[in-house]
Structure 1
């Protein structure tokens, strides 16, 4: 059962219809509603974690469609197993729905409150007695079996066990800390102010990933600097990360590898984002490699390594990609197509092309005019920018933002300057890509950008 006692807001269910929640609490009100669960709810809310807890839903034999929708729309479900939890068929129906959502990527965490996890898992003692009564009441309609299976699955998850070896306050703070970390890791990434031209590219990557299959897949995205590889990777990440047990987006791998302890920092970030343990330190690179293999090999994960330019970077983060659990997906973005060839035949490569003229015009106009097409008096200027930027989204965005709000004279002066001296901001952002190319590739790169 769930309750909702959000102070300062209406407690009617209609207030929360069609809204998503960070956390859904499933519990037996008579056991913990006025004590432990109520305190947990308040602690989560005080930290800004949007939590569903409701005691005003109409009760009946069947769980309501509204509540089922709320469970579906929640990022995390916490089940508080207390002494009388399984007495409630309502709670057990919630549990079945939560397990269904778990298969679609919802994070599920059990709390064993004054009960033995093994008794819950194996349905022994009082839990076994209650299920015997349920079977007598519901006979052979399959409902009780679905409850048993759901209970067994959730009780096998490593959760929190309250054994009176600390205060409830300390116990609740531990839960809230871990939930806060989990929520941070499940927050979508910012993609772009104007994500023009990425939809069909994202769909192409999703087809290559085929997240419904149970193998391990690696997809490499390659293309020149500023073409939008990172933007597309972030959009893909947002669309699919909820389907995995853990996910991590490691941005600017090349740049961070060049900093002091950058490799170790990336290894620790990878472990933290997937495991949620902020205190896990790797010590040195070689221990980090082994820790990543040991801790992540049993999880179905999504990992994105962004802006990789050397095989060594991949090897020190994920080895040869041969230890990941079935269903895991790895995306690597790079400007170097040849680097992807080293990863073997199991990798699928996708070339990210520049925007076509229509897409370039729309993206530039959105930045320069806050509308999807240019003002009539600025058509010639706009065409000049489109020719200059050669379909590179980064160049179009920066130039458009720089020209926004300026008059025609300022446009002419600015564009004349671009023709003579490359924009410093564009030049700075793309410098990393440029420095890693050989001489021939640098010439091609300069032709594209300038």
Structure 2
């Protein structure tokens, strides 16, 4: 353990983080740990209320020497588990806890490369459909475990009628279809006075069509902030061990071009590797994009309709650098396709 944790007092030896394995693997693991005198915290509650973990769980994580994370097929479907994992990894970065991952019924490479159930959260949520999202919204805000709806229209009416007097703060992340907004939060009037709704999307026209009052255009990270983020992921304590690694870090952060997810992907890939592996890795990245970066960038392409995809491929392969007006005239329905790209 690092010096930052050498004088801390521990309430638990192990904190167990898990999902849907309480009666199978985790129960046997918990029993084995207890039998050997290892003080273990296992959360036995079945209802996860809200988006954030409770103060009790937060204290338990912070006062544990080790965190055993049992990554099962449905682990990432729980925001509660993801919030636990976020705190665990934050403490691990500060050397205040050690993490032991256990892959239960899943392939570690699926987690590493974000395949299957571990694909980007937006795809996983799609969100299950609009009806599922409406049920989750009502369940999380009202604290009710089993909310069942039979149609999207009924769900919208239920949101308006049951949440109309509650002051709510709602974040709709990575919206790519106006139907999602109409089903979950079409108007601020659906919620109580003082409520706020934040929408993140790659499609600016979607915000305009929904009458969003204030639009904030998120910029890519500047060079200094990008380098800081990369080094926090790539190195223990966030500091390169030598000027050689510092120079290589600058090369890596520039390759990511200010995209936070790309910076993290490069950092996780290079973390713990030798100097020679760093040099070989960066050279290969400069010649061809890293696989995980391609999957991150491809999410924007996948969200385009067929017209937008066709326009993208034509611009990328044939008209890169040409005047916009010329491209519009050459493409079928070019004005609409270029508008989607913009």
TM range (shorter): 0.5 to 0.7
8 Å contact from structure 2 (residues 50, 140) kept in 1: no
Map Cα deviations across residues 197-219 of structure 1 (whole Å, 9 max, x no partner).
xxxxxxxxxxxxxxxxxxxxxxx
The answer (yes or no) to whether the contact 2:139–2:147 under 8 Å persists in 1 is yes
- Would the alpha carbon gap of residues 368 and 321 (structure 1) be closer, same or farther in structure 2, given more than 3 Å must change? same
Pair 1:348-2:217 in alignment? no
Q: Which residue of 1 aligns with 2:266?
A: 399
Compared CA separation, residues 327 and 424, structure 1 to 2 (3 A): same
Matches of 1:186 and 1:366, distance apart in 2: 25
Deviations 1:392-449 (A, max 9, x none): 11111111111112222211211122123322222223322232243677879x99xx
Cα contact 1:254–1:307 (8 A) shared by 2: no
Distance in 2 (CA, whole Å) between partners of 1:342 and 1:394 is: 28
Measure the CA separation in 1 of the matches of 2:179 and 2:43. Answer: 40
1:306 match: 173
Deviation at 1:373, TM superposition (A): 3.8
Task: Give the drift of 1:273.
Answer: 0.2
Q: What TM-score, normalized to structure 2?
A: 0.55
Conservation of the 8 A alpha-carbon contact between 1:263 and 1:285? yes
Q: How far apart are 1:267 and its partner, in Å?
A: 0.8
Q: 1:339 to 1:254 in 2, by over 3 A?
A: farther
SS of the aligned residue for 1:278 comes to coil
In 1, Cα distance between equivalents of 2:291 and 2:179: 31
Say which of 410, 413, 416 aligns to 2:283: 416
Equivalence map 1:2-401=2 (5 Å): 181-182=48-49, 187=54, 189=83, 252=121, 256-257=125-126, 261-344=128-211, 347-374=213-240, 375-401=242-268
- 2:66 maps to which residue? none
- In the alignment of these two chains, the number of paired residues is 215
Using structure 1 for the length normalisation, give the TM-score: 0.42
Larger Rg: 1
Q: CA offset at residue 186 of structure 1?
A: 5.9
Change (3 A) 1:395 1:253: closer
Per-residue deviation, 1:48:
5.6
Pairwise CA distance, 1:320: 3.1
The aligned residue for residue 214 of structure 1 is: none
Partner deviation per Cα, 1:206-263 (whole Å, 9 max, x = no partner): xxxxxxxxxxxxxxxxxxxxxxxxxxxxxxxxxxxxxxxxxxxxx9556533x7x521
Instruction: Please say if residues 231 and 239 of structure 2, whose CA atoms lie closer than 8 Å, have aligned partners that are also in contact.
Output: yes
Query: Using the alignment, how far apart are the partners of 2:50 and 2:178 within structure 1?
Result: 32
User: How far apart are 1:323 and its partner, in Å?
Assistant: 2.0
Change beyond 3 A, Cα 1:185–1:411:
closer
Structure 1 CA distance for aligned equivalents of residues 197 and 222 of structure 2: 28
Alpha carbons 1:354, 1:392 under 8 Å: kept: yes
Q: Deviations over 1:283-315 (max 9, x none)?
A: 222211111111111111111100001211100
Q: Any gaps of 5 or more consecutive residues in structure 2?
A: 1-40, 55-79, 91-119, 322-342
Whole-angstrom distance in 2 between the partners of 1:282 and 1:276: 16
Match of 2:61 in 1: none
Distance across 1 between alignment mates of 2:42 and 2:283: 52
